[in-house]
Amino acid sequence: MWTSIKHFEKPASLEEAYTLIVPGKKVPFSGGSYLTAEQSGEIDTLIAIRHLLDDRIKMNGKILTIGTGATLQSLVKYDWSRSPLRLAECACLSCPSRNIRNQRTLGGEIGRQRTNSELFVHLKALDVNLEVIGASSQTMSIREWDGQGIINALRIDMTAVKKTFCQRFALIPSAPAVVIVEGVLNKQRLDVVVGGAASVLSLSSITDMGFPEETLAQVAAQAAVRFKTDQYGSRAYKEHLIRTGLARIVAEC
């Protein structure tokens, strides 16, 4: 029962779908697992886009392209054995229920911009490119995306990814992580994204590959500002977890 829904639009193209969006009132609907769980009373129109989205995972040379209509479960099933990416693992951690993974799309997961989504944090750390349908179609870094428009696909330049790391701290495995520390190592630097029970994600690049202690402490302190004291512990405890996660990632580097 979602009592506020009065209209259901089925546009012929993503461009048309974009023109129909009125934020918070008329919204795109692909998998719908977030929207139907929340059932916001402000939303009166659903704009169906699932039929317009590519759901394929393709490797073209060194460029990986994933259609945002791909479900999280399809990421789990894909063979990533020769890839440093951890999309399958992150999809499971972000969404422990297989039933919901079968429904939830990659685009929906990115669009939600959830700070405690391991998948979103991973993609941020990878600095993937998004193909965004908006006032004009354009490709941009996920780090620059402002949340506007409809994401059609994402691309990852595999030559830029040497190794990826994740340190995740949760009370129990199926619970949302209190702190997520994601690292992506390439030739010149270690990109670190910190998420979890944070208000926004924190992004840092460590270029001194000797990983000095003071640099790690600084990264942790900056990231910890995004956390508050709550039922999982004090802000200082979160900072400690971030610092621990960084130390473990550095040890793996």
Partner 1 sequence: MKYIGKKTHRLDGFALSRGRPVFTDDLHLPHMLYLKVLRSPHAHARIKSIDTTAAANIDGIVSILTWKDFPRHYFTSAGQGYPEPSPRDMLILDQTVRFVGDRVAVIAAESLEIAQAALERIQVEYELLPAILDPKASIANPTVIHPETGPVDIYAADRNIAAYFQSELGDVDRGFKESALILEGEYSTPYVQQAHLEPHITLTWLDANGRLVIRSSTQVPFHVRRIVSELLVIPVGQIQVIKPRIGGGFGGKQEILNEELCAAVTLKTGRPARIEMTREEEFYAARSRHPEIIKLKIGVDAEGLFRAVDLNILENCGAYAPHALTVMSVTAQKALSLYRCPNIRVEAQAVYTNLPIAGAYRGYGTPQGIFALEVLMDEIANELNIDPIDLRLRNCQEVGDEIPIAKVLGEGSEGFPIVLHSTGLKDCLEEGRRSVQWQEARQEVKTGPIRRGIGVAAAGHGTGIPGIDMGSAFLKMNEDASFNLLVGATDLGTGSDTALAQIAAEVLEVPVEKIVVYSSDTDFTPFDTGAYASSTTYISGGAVKKAAEKVKEQIFSQGKKLLGVDQAVIRDGFVEADSGERISYAEICTRSMYTDDQMQIMATASHMSYDSPPPFNATFAEVSVDTETGLVQVERIVSVTDAGQIINPPMAEGQVEGAIPQALGMALCEHMIFDEQGAPINTDFTGYHIYTAADMPEIVVKFHEGHEPTGPYGAKAVAEIPISAPAPAVVNAIYNACGVRIRKLPIQPEDILRGLAQLS
Nearer to partner 1 among residue 50 and residue 248 (C-beta): 248
Cβ 149 to partner 1 shortest distance, Å? 27
CB 5 within 8 A of CB 43: yes
Nearer to partner 1 among residue 4 and residue 188 (C-beta): 4
- How long a stretch of residues is the chain? 253
Cα dihedral sign for 23, 193, 136, 155?
A: negative
- What does the block give as tokens for 142? 């996920």
Cβ 42 to partner 1 shortest distance, Å? 12
Cβ 216 to partner 1 shortest distance, Å? 14
Cβ 240 to partner 1 shortest distance, Å? 7
CB 4 within 8 A of CB 44: yes
Cβ 110 to partner 1 shortest distance, Å? 19
Nearer to partner 1 among residue 159 and residue 199 (C-beta): 199
Nearer to partner 1 among residue 60 and residue 231 (C-beta): 231
DSSP string, 236-250: HHHHHHHHHHHHHHH
Cβ 51 to partner 1 shortest distance, Å? 27
CA dist 175 and 177 (Å) reads: 6
The kind and range of the H/E element at 62 are none
Residues that bind partner 1 (CB under 8 A): 1, 3, 41, 96, 169-176, 231-234, 237, 240-241, 244
Nearer to partner 1 among residue 149 and residue 176 (C-beta): 176
CA dist 131 and 141 (Å) reads: 9
Nearer to partner 1 among residue 170 and residue 253 (C-beta): 170
Helices 87-94 and 118-126, packing angle to 10 deg: 150
